Structure 1
């Protein structure tokens, strides 16, 4: 196996909380050296987000800061600011999520940094983008889910709008940041120049509307909510069994026929003109779904799953988080890694899902303590008094 893809790339991480740290954590997974700049005595906000915690250390923080180096610097301290400028002069990538204009007074805006480091790729992450009527507002996943339309399409048909169980707009914006940074690094190979990447949680969330967006834009229809059912594919939802729940995902007419004929022994359902094609099933879901529910209720979940798998009909069990991490899929693929940690002995982390045939993804190291690497990193810049 060769070296990790981003070996030799240095990332100056001025971001906090989730979107930016998710982005830079992935860059670290890919081999970049990530310098996480934190405020002395306080650090990333997520260090205080608990419970849950391990002996007073936030597990939220652990989720998005593996394999980084923490450098504690006070931007209001002239010596620290000068050191930060020297680090910015050596970095390939800078990621920040400060309020609009907040870094200008420190000379940490793109134009100022490009004077000494023209190849720097500068990625800004904000709630609504660096231009536009709401550029000065902060961004919070909960409000972005509400304002982007994601909440309007999530939840039961007769219930209230719901958010996803994780901060999905932060996570997706972080993923978009990785894509944009990789593309900018590729472009720099041709041009020799860096560029400014302007990402917003709001735009990332609106882009997540996907087929819902194109449906509305081209028909004018407001999609509403379907709970655990699918707006345009039927049957594609949860069904209660004799002892649990099955998630059924019939994505095409062939799968529906196999469900009816081979699993349920009901060829009459497959041949019924009301259910012959997916569009027919969408139009007649009110009669089809109760009949399928009646059939599923006659046997336990594991029997149905074995039968559905044998007949090539996509389905799954609704698992608890505990069940996920004891599943053979997680264990055999090595998705959980236990890494050494000075304070706890070891910590268990979810490894990067990225896998390559010819290059390594970095073996993760434990998320750093606040300022753990300050002297190590700054010693490479210039001699410095200890804090």
Structure 2
């Protein structure tokens, strides 16, 4: 991985579940040495999570634990915390997602650690941030997604708010934390000093909520659930086809809409006062979608897709995992890679993104077994002897 952009960067990951470890996954994908500290009794709960258990193992863990080294250490013991401090002293970044105040109670808050290591960058991922009246609350993604505004606008208007189907709040906060780490490291290059990256789940959701706040501030409009459409953006929806498969069509720009009307055999609609521009189409969104749906319902998707593509209209199918694995574009770009696994033989998973032309990321290995790298890391990074490591193991610190 000599070509990786983060080669030489050492990260200590002390988090669990998704939010903090997703930050570590991103950094590891691009070459950072990510040393994950895990409780010796069970490790990260992600080792067991997931609705399916092929061969008794979680298929989730190989992805979020990839490109990391596993070191077991009991942080609830004095010796365990001393060991963690020794590793942190040789690291550039710490990633943690304990409840705020936990590290401080262990004497491992940022002020204590940075006093001896002023260049340390610490990414702290939590539900509500490190400050404020809610900072002490348990912060799971479902609450952060709700408070950040995403839940209220997700789903059908006549039903309760829906969730995205993944823990998007956790992933967004991990992504924000990784971005913050890069910013903090760039600042350290100039100043020599590290800093805290405070990534709250609710704020990570809030940051992708477009103009939701500003629109309410200026107009009093509260955005509501709108199902498969964005209100005022038309046509941009899912439509039926003769086979029953849905097709996505986005033709909300004037030029694209005119091309769509030509394909429909209704060029007159492009000049109809109800549809002639963006605002008019948005005001008559429902009836326009009904017209398009009536047309697509009589079309075969296999012939409709290439016609739309040739016209330069955004279109596509709704993919699941089987469609992704069969798609030639995914294959050509290696969007999904096959990685060796000690139990499964090999596993498929998403590649490292985004793509860098000169120093790309890569999936070097799947998630480690619990404590797989304990001895090697303690020897090479902390400088412990084999006897010292054996002693810690005998005292159940490891």
Using the size of structure 1 for normalisation, the TM-score is 0.96
Q: How far apart, in 1, do the equivalents of 2:41 and 2:204 lie? A: 33
Which piece of structure 1 moves more, 332-341 or 35-44?
332-341
Equivalent residues in 2 for 1:1-387 (5 A)? 3-243=3-243, 244-261=245-262, 263-380=263-380, 381=382, 382-383=384-385, 384-386=388-390, 387=393
Are the equivalent residues in 1 in contact too, given 2:212–2:223 (CA < 8 A)?
yes
Are the equivalent residues in 2 in contact too, given 1:238–1:248 (CA < 8 A)?
yes
C-alpha change, 1:286 and 1:342, in structure 2 (3 Å) is closer
Cα deviation for residue 74 of structure 1 reads 0.3
Cα deviation for residue 2 of structure 1 reads 6.0
Question: 1:12-70: CA deviations, max 9, x gaps?
Answer: 00111111111111101111000001001211111121332231111122221101000
Q: How far apart, in 2, do the equivalents of 1:66 and 1:251 lie? A: 40
Which piece of structure 1 moves more, 122-131 or 361-370?
361-370
Which piece of structure 1 moves more, 18-27 or 321-330?
321-330
Q: How far apart, in 2, do the equivalents of 1:74 and 1:196 lie? A: 24
Are the equivalent residues in 2 in contact too, given 1:242–1:300 (CA < 8 A)?
yes
Cα deviation for residue 106 of structure 1 reads 2.1
Q: How far apart, in 1, do the equivalents of 2:135 and 2:22 lie? A: 22
Q: How far apart, in 2, do the equivalents of 1:318 and 1:349 lie? A: 19
Q: How far apart, in 1, do the equivalents of 2:163 and 2:285 lie? A: 26
Question: 1:298-334: CA deviations, max 9, x gaps?
Answer: 1111211111001111111122221122211211111
Question: 1:140-191: CA deviations, max 9, x gaps?
Answer: 1122222222111111122221110111111111111111100111100000
Are the equivalent residues in 2 in contact too, given 1:247–1:317 (CA < 8 A)?
yes
Three-state SS of the structure 2 residue aligned to 1:325 is helix
Q: How far apart, in 1, do the equivalents of 2:346 and 2:313 lie? A: 41
C-alpha change, 1:111 and 1:57, in structure 2 (3 Å) is same
Three-state SS of the structure 1 residue aligned to 2:7 is coil
Measured on the aligned residues, the alpha-carbon RMSD in Å equals 1.5
Counterpart residue number, 2:396: none
C-alpha change, 1:10 and 1:2, in structure 2 (3 Å) is closer
Q: How far apart, in 1, do the equivalents of 2:40 and 2:130 lie? A: 27
Q: How far apart, in 2, do the equivalents of 1:91 and 1:98 lie? A: 19
* Structure 1: segments with no counterpart, 5+ residues: none
Q: How far apart, in 1, do the equivalents of 2:74 and 2:155 lie? A: 44
Matched pairs, number: 386
Q: How far apart, in 1, do the equivalents of 2:320 and 2:99 lie? A: 38
Question: 1:283-305: CA deviations, max 9, x gaps?
Answer: 11232221111111111112111
Are the equivalent residues in 2 in contact too, given 1:2–1:358 (CA < 8 A)?
no
Are the equivalent residues in 2 in contact too, given 1:71–1:377 (CA < 8 A)?
yes
Question: 1:246-280: CA deviations, max 9, x gaps?
Answer: 1111241111111002x112111111011001100
Cα deviation for residue 238 of structure 1 reads 0.6
Are the equivalent residues in 2 in contact too, given 1:66–1:366 (CA < 8 A)?
yes
